[in-house]
A and B are shown apart, each in its own frame.
Chain A
């Protein structure tokens, strides 16, 4: 797509740089800006000093439902919704700002951020598509990521009632890409 306005182009470049710095994959940049693939590639190399990772993006909603990823995803999505409801931001800017807040909060608790910015972006797209939503836990009233058509009347979150092996697995001391399904 041809960009007419220089101001708009510069805004898009700023956005792309912010996303690259947060570790976004090239597919995210292609989808969120009108910049050409070649320019994005050059920008990526300039900012990161290396070529972007290749391969497909994760496309399943299942990752967001596993125990630890669900907690991280829920934190991010709550922050995203907060920004969305209190200010008028374009979606991608809200994603960037919410992701920064998420990174801050995990750092503050000395946890590794399990959720990548690419996954965070994916999550928002799943919400837009109506595949995934936030459901309040009937015990703590916190809102957690669930499938939209799940039975959620008496939903209890994974922190109020953790699965039997939660936190006992190898690596949950600090976090890893462990997937503790109950």
Chain B
């Protein structure tokens, strides 16, 4: 398929929608409660301040991209294993608190990221 470049319109549109939804949600969270938004989003105060100030036109412009503007906030095996409940096997099936393990590890990861 080398001749006419195939542009995957559908895919581009989906990326744009995810970007826009994320930005709108982020802005909404930051305006509702900035401190909690920083925790939920995992972004720095500076980034939050920028997102807060974006106009609708700017949001649209940033969203229109072939790249997603957000990415995973963890990239270590530990968190992935915990999220996919590998560790739960060790506990009796009833141990509901095991689900909090990933949350604890993730909540402890902040300063390292910036």
| A159 to B89 CA separation, bound complex (whole angstroms) | 11
Residue-wise, chain B 31-48 has the 8 Å CB interface mask toward A (1 for contact) of 001111011000011000
Within 8 Å of chain A (Cβ to Cβ): is B103?
yes
| A83 to B41 CA separation, bound complex (whole angstroms) | 12
For residue A134, which residues in chain B have a CB less than 8 angstroms away from its CB? Answer: 108
Chain A interface residue count, CB cutoff 8 Å, equals 41
A94 contact from B35, B93, B101, B108, Cβ within 8 A: B35
| A10 to B100 CA separation, bound complex (whole angstroms) | 37
Within 8 Å of chain B (Cβ to Cβ): is A142?
yes
For residue B96, which residues in chain A have a CB less than 8 angstroms away from its CB? Answer: 109-111, 172-175
Within 8 Å of chain B (Cβ to Cβ): is A52?
no
B interface majority secondary structure: helix
| A70 to B93 CA separation, bound complex (whole angstroms) | 19
| A159 to B36 CA separation, bound complex (whole angstroms) | 26
Chain B residue nearest in CB terms to A109: B99
Listed in ascending order, the chain A residues whose CB lies under 8 Å from chain B are: 68, 71-72, 74-75, 78-79, 81-83, 85-87, 89, 93-94, 97, 100-101, 105-106, 109-111, 134, 136, 140-144, 159-160, 162, 166-168, 172-175
Other than the given A79-B39, A87-B35, A167-B94, 14 more pairs (CB < 8 A) read A78-B107, A79-B107, A82-B110, A83-B39, A86-B44, A101-B36, A106-B100, A111-B96, A159-B87, A159-B97, A166-B91, A167-B97, A168-B94, A174-B96
A selection of 22 A-B contacts at a CB cut-off of 8 Å is A82-B108, A83-B38, A85-B111, A86-B110, A87-B34, A87-B45, A94-B35, A101-B39, A106-B100, A111-B100, A140-B78, A140-B82, A140-B101, A140-B105, A142-B105, A142-B108, A159-B100, A162-B90, A167-B91, A167-B97, A172-B95, A172-B96
